[in-house]
């Protein structure tokens, strides 16, 4: 015989309210352990991008370092931090972050392109310095 239930009620002979509560708590606990870190880190990366877009490079650096404190393998945070260091003129720090990103994801096309551009942009400075040194020697 089919049982008619009132709207909004749930009746199952196999599961008691205690069992349902235990399942709900277990699900909540698993969600907290595995689910919260990801969105929070994504929020930090996103906020760092917003800060960079608004030329708030110190804030962007702070956010991406915060991500790396929790997830040292974050390719996005390493890459973005490298870009921020470039903008701030911190060339060696930028190089280290690009290398860290490539260590985690050696085939990432964005990191590879950014690192190539970084190295290409440094070449004129080095040749300028050599040229100036040669000019100074000839005087």
pLDDT at 89 over 80: yes
Domains of the chain: 40-138 (1.25.40.10)
pLDDT band at 125 (very low <50, low <70, confident <90, very high): low
DSSP E strand boundaries for 84-135: none
For the segment 6-64, what is each residue's pLDDT rounded down to a tens digit? 444 444 445 456 654 445 444 433 333 333 445 577 888 999 999 999 999 999 999 99
Q: Say if pTM beats, i.e. exceeds, 0.75.
A: no
Torsion sign across C-alpha atoms 84, 87, 90, 95: positive
Q: pLDDT (tens digit, 9 = 90+) per residue, 67-86?
A: 999 999 999 999 999 999 99
């Amino acid at each position: 015989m089919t049982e008619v239930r009132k709207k909004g009620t749930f009746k199952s002979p196999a599961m008691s309210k205690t069992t349902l509560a235990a399942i709900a708590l277990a699900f909540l606990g698993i969600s907290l352990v595995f689910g919260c870190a990801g969105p929070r880190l994504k929020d930090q990366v996103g906020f760092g991008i917003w800060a960079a877009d608004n030329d708030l490079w110190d804030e962007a650096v702070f956010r991406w370092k915060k991500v790396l404190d929790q997830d040292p393998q974050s390719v996005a945070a390493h890459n973005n931090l490298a870009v921020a260091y470039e903008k701030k003129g911190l060339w060696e720090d930028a190089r280290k972050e690009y290398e860290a990103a490539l260590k985690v994801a050696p085939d990432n096309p964005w990191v590879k392109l950014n690192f190539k551009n970084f190295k290409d942009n440094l070449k004129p400075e080095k040749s300028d310095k050599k040229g100036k040194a040669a000019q100074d020697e000839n005087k």
